């Protein structure tokens, strides 16, 4: 199953100071700092958890050397305890979703225990399954202008989305050598449905009607609060770093990436998704 692809996808490796996690990671020495990362979803065929060991400042940053492969990793749901096994190929702890059975509205608890006695814990709740995203569009010359309607507030609170062109058949011709390409959504791509604006989310497929056949695949991801805060602060940290250089210093204070892991740092969050296909021609 394809993973959530918005500014993240696995592995979600990072070693950052925690934010609202209930643990002061600034007080943990780097050699004892452990980071975990996992986003779970009902659509996953395999659930993965990545576990990394922090390093002292000045050490060579190599993610393969930071991987912890001998921890005990379990995910609990109610009274059911599911033990994950380390997969050396993916460098993560994994379990089949047929066994874990990640389901909407259920709460899951992650527990990681390393060989040297460090214990990390986190929990998340899986959002409800969102309704299929609604797309309305019109032809504008050779382009296709469309809008994504706001999802129902009854089952989606925090969300993001992706647009992908599929089933494209295009043969370049004289005067029409440029094929279909997808415009970028301007601004933030993370939304709080409680603060929805009056305008719908608009985008455009350039040269869509130069193709013999084309369709738009829209995937809506409903996020739990942990995943939303992680992605939001991760994007802010990336933006801060991208605007910092030796020539033009960034005067804004950096913000820590959100963590909900007690005993270390990292993210254990959940999402749910649904997809719609819009034939254009």
With contact defined as beta carbons under 8 Å apart, do 31 and 55 qualify? yes
The pLDDT score that the predictor gives to residue 241 is 57
> CA end-to-end span of the chain, whole Å?
28
With contact defined as beta carbons under 8 Å apart, do 206 and 181 qualify? yes
Element holding 250 (H helix, E strand): none
Predicted model pTM? 0.83
| pLDDT, tens only, 160-211 | 999 999 999 998 877 777 899 998 775 678 999 988 876 778 899 999 999 9
With contact defined as beta carbons under 8 Å apart, do 262 and 23 qualify? yes
Element holding 197 (H helix, E strand): none
Residue 161 CA to residue 239 CA, distance in Å, equals 20
Strands (E) in the chain, as ranges, are 34-40, 46-53, 72-77, 80-87, 92-96, 107-113, 119-125, 135-140, 143-148, 158-169, 181-182, 191-192, 201-206, 213-223, 265-279
Per DSSP, 82 falls in state: E
Model confidence at 249: pLDDT above 70: no
Residue 143 CA to residue 122 CA, distance in Å, equals 46
The pLDDT score that the predictor gives to residue 100 is 97
Give the range among 83-87, 125-129, 171-175, 196-200 with minimum mean pLDDT: 196-200
Whether the bond into 275 is cis, omega within 30 of 0: no
Residue 240 CA to residue 250 CA, distance in Å, equals 7
Token readout for 221 is 């991801």
Domain 25-128+223-273 has CATH 2.60.40.10: yes
């Amino acid at each position: 199953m394809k993973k959530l692809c918005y500014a993240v996808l696995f592995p979600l490796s990072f070693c950052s100071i925690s934010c609202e996690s209930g643990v002061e990671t600034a007080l943990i020495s780097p050699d004892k700092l452990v980071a975990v990362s996992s986003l779970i979803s009902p659509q996953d065929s395999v659930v993965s958890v990545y576990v990394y060991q922090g390093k002292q400042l000045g050490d060579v940053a190599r993610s393969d050397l930071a991987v912890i492969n001998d921890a005990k990793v379990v995910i609990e749901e109610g009274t059911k305890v599911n033990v994950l096994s380390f997969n050396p190929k993916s460098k993560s702890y994994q379990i089949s979703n047929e066994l874990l059975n990640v389901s909407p509205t259920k709460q899951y608890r992650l527990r990681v225990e390393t060989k040297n006695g460090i214990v990390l814990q986190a929990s998340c709740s899986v959002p409800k399954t969102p309704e299929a995203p609604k797309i309305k569009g019109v032809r504008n010359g050779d382009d296709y202008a469309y809008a994504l309607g706001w999802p129902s507030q009854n089952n989606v609170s925090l969300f993001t989305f992706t647009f992908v062109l599929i089933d494209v058949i295009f043969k370049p011709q004289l005067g029409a050598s440029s094929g279909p390409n997808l415009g970028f959504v301007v601004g933030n791509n993370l939304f709080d449905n409680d603060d929805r604006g009056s305008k719908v989310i608009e985008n455009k497929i350039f040269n869509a009607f130069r193709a013999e056949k084309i369709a738009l695949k829209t995937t809506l991801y409903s996020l739990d609060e942990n995943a939303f805060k992680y992605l939001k602060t991760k994007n802010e940290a990336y933006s801060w770093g991208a605007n910092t250089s030796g020539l033009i210093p960034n005067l804004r204070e950096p913000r820590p990436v959100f963590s909900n892991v007690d005993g270390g740092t990292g993210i254990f969050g959940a999402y749910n998704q649904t997809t719609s296909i819009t034939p254009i021609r």
